[in-house]
Amino acid sequence: MNDRVILLVEDNRDDEELTLRALGKSKISNRVVVARDGVEALDYLFKRGSHANRPAGEEAQVVLLDLKLPKVDGLEVLRAIRAHDDTRLLPVVILTSSVEERDLVDGYGLGANSYIRKPVDFTQFLEAVRQLGLYWLVLNQPVPRR
């Protein structure tokens, strides 16, 4: 499972570190690529810009996507992912602070696979990250690579 890359799209450094910590605490040792805004996330996924030369085989297996992002926001990133043939079936988990009904509806409407609200309580956060890692990286069978 180690070859499965997690793409964490998160602009807040604290949240980034806490998520990485939670992943580590949950014994999820997959490589985590962090994109700090929507543009960078799409560059990684579509091998563009600063990620134009990334090696093949480092395709993201799951995207942990914050909604409130600089430049291109999370819902736009999701829209682009679903619009592109290569990433159309890529699991995307929205990981955000918002529980606005509108964000939930829009997120699922654009094809998010899951929607998780980051709990303030780190103990709960840890549990959430552990469960989603277990589910998406271990239990869930990915789409076969072409």
- Interface pattern 56-95 for another protein (x via CB under 8 A): ------------x---------------------------
Q: Which H or E run includes 112?
A: none
Q: Which H or E run includes 15?
A: helix 13-25
CB-count burial class (<10 Å; 0-12, 13-18, 19+) for 30: middle
CB-count burial class (<10 Å; 0-12, 13-18, 19+) for 56: exposed
Binding residues for another protein, total number by CB under 8 A? 18
Binding region for another protein (CB under 8 A) out of 9-17, 35-43, 79-87, 132-140: 9-17
Binding region for another protein (CB under 8 A) out of 39-47, 71-79, 97-105, 136-144: 97-105
The residue ranges of DSSP E strands in 12-105, in sequence order, are: 32-35, 60-65, 92-96
Q: Choose, by CB under 8 A, the member of 35, 36, 75, 118 that binds another protein.
A: 118
* 98 near another protein, judged by CB under 8 A: yes
Residues at the contact surface with another protein, assessed by CB under 8 A: 12, 14-15, 18, 21, 68, 96-100, 118-123, 125
